[in-house]
Amino acid sequence: MKNPIPTIQRFWSETLLELRKCTWPSQHELVESTMVVIASLIMLSAFVALVDWLSQWFIRLITLI
């Protein structure tokens, strides 16, 4: 069986090399992006809740007739 240690070492060094090429967001950019995600989640949740409530109301209206 072939020794897996050199393969793991090569994988690890190549992974670190690729991570050094990445551009990482500043703290300000990270906070702004997080706020956009949170605001989007709130708006999407409100939309889904509204559609759910309207669907429930409409189905109850139809079933009463």
Long-range contacts of 36-41 (CB under 8 A, 24+ apart): none
Q: Is 33:25 a contact under the CB 8 Å cutoff? A: yes
How many folded domains does the chain comprise? 1
Residue 22, domain member (yes or no)? no
Q: Is residue 20 situated within a structural domain?
A: no
Cα–Cα distance for residue pair 2/46, rounded to 1 Å: 56
Task: Give the pLDDT confidence of 1-41 residue by residue, as tens digits.
Answer: 788 899 999 999 999 999 999 999 999 999 999 999 999 99
Asked, for residue 44, whether it belongs to a domain, the answer is yes
Residue range 53-64: mean pLDDT, rounded: 94
18 assigned to some structural domain: no
User: Is 19 inside any structural domain?
Assistant: no
- Residue 45, domain extent: 30-65
- Let me know if residue 35 belongs to a domain: yes
